[in-house]
């Protein structure tokens, strides 16, 4: 029997619908069967910033992530240890900071923009899933999300998109697309399309998990 978890990497650019895909995917497994570790909780704290400083600061670089701690926590989960981590609040001083308890499980999902770029993390993945959307679709989603959830003006969102988001996507994520086992195109705003995609992939994962457990 193989006690090492089956490790799934889910990568996707901003506005690709990666978070919705991930939430739908998780619904296909019982709570103790799967655990999630997210790159977003490993941002190096940048301190409180003014709106203009926030606009100019480039969060879309691998150097903004504490990839050493990210890797260390993944390895702890692989070895059967629980991980305790402060939830990142995206420099929002009004956000209530939660302490996350991440427990080991037979399926470990690692998600984030740079997980394929960080070589030691990528080497641990058994299945790589790439979620993508056309650029205009992704930008429209980003404008809506950042306006509603973070209160960012549309001009600031567009500035970041053209100067930070897309250059980073093209350099640190897109080159690894062909390296992935599954490509999920997510241009539809009909949630049923993603739900169907997660059903198919989750069925395959369950088969591969059984093979992984038995060493077949």
| H-only helix segments in the chain | 18-26, 51-56, 67-78, 119-122, 135-150, 154-160, 166-172, 191-214
Is 25 a member of any domain?
no
Q: How high is the pLDDT of residue 142? A: 95
Identify any residues that bridge with 83 across adjacent strands, giving them in sequence order. Answer: 102
The reply to whether 208 falls in a domain is no
Q: Which residues contact 120 (CB under 8 A, 6 or more apart)?
A: 71
Q: Is residue 35 part of a domain?
A: no
In a domain, 211, yes or no: no
CATH number where 82 lies: 3.40.50.300
Instruction: Compute the average pLDDT of residues 172-196.
Output: 91
Query: Which residue in this structure is represented by tokens 């086992």?
Result: 181
Q: Which of 182, 26, 39 is nearest to 105 (CA)?
A: 26
Given a contact cutoff of 8 angstroms between Cβ atoms, the answer to whether 105 and 5 are in contact is: yes
Q: CB 200: neighbour CB atoms within 10 A?
A: 11
Parent domain of 101: 6-19+50-202
Q: Measured between alpha carbons, how far is residue 129 from residues 43, 116, 189, 202 in Å? A: 22, 10, 20, 12
Structure tokens at 48: 């409180």
Cβ(14)–Cβ(165) below 8 Å: yes
Rounded to the nearest 10 degrees, the angle between the axes of helix 191-214 and helix 18-26 is 60
* Residues 63-112: tens digit of each pLDDT: 999 999 999 999 999 999 999 988 776 655 556 678 889 999 999 999 99
Lowest mean pLDDT among 2-6, 17-21, 24-28, 190-194: 190-194
pTM recorded for the entire structure = 0.90
* 76 SS3 class: helix
Tell me how many domains the chain contains: 1
In a domain, 15, yes or no: yes
**Three-state SS for 151?**
coil
Model confidence at 148, pLDDT cuts 50, 70, 90, reads confident
Domain assignment of residue 66, yes or no: yes
- Within-domain flag for 96: yes
* Average pLDDT of the segment spanning 127-148: 94
DSSP per-residue codes, 86-129? EPP-TT-TTSPPPEEEE---SEEEEE-TTTTTSHHHHTT-SEEE
Whether 48 shows a pLDDT value over 80: the answer reads no
- Domain for residue 151, yes or no? yes
Residue 1 has pLDDT above 60, yes or no: no
């Amino acid at each position: 029997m193989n006690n090492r978890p089956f490790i799934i990497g889910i990568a996707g650019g901003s506005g690709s619908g990666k978070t919705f895909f991930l939430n739908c995917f998780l619904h296909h497994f019982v709570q103790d069967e799967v655990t999630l570790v997210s790159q977003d909780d490993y941002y190096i704290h940048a301190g409180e910033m003014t709106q203009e400083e926030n606009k100019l600061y480039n969060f879309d670089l691998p150097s903004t992530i504490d990839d050493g701690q990210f890797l260390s926590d993944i390895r702890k989960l692989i070895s059967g240890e629980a991980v305790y981590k402060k939830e990142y609040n995206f420099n929002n001083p009004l956000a209530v900071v939660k302490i996350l308890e991440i427990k080991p499980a037979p399926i470990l999902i690692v998600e984030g923009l740079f997980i394929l770029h960080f070589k030691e993390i990528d080497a641990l993945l058994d299945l790589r899933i790439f979620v993508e959307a056309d650029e205009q679709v992704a930008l429209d989603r980003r404008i809506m999300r950042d306006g509603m959830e973070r209160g960012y003006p549309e001009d600031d969102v567009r500035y970041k998109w053209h100067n930070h988001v897309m250059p980073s996507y093209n350099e640190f994520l897109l080159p690894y697309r062909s390296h992935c086992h599954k490509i999920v195109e997510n241009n539809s705003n009909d949630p049923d399309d993603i739900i169907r995609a997660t059903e198919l992939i989750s069925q395959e994962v369950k088969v591969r998990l059984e093979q992984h457990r038995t060493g077949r």
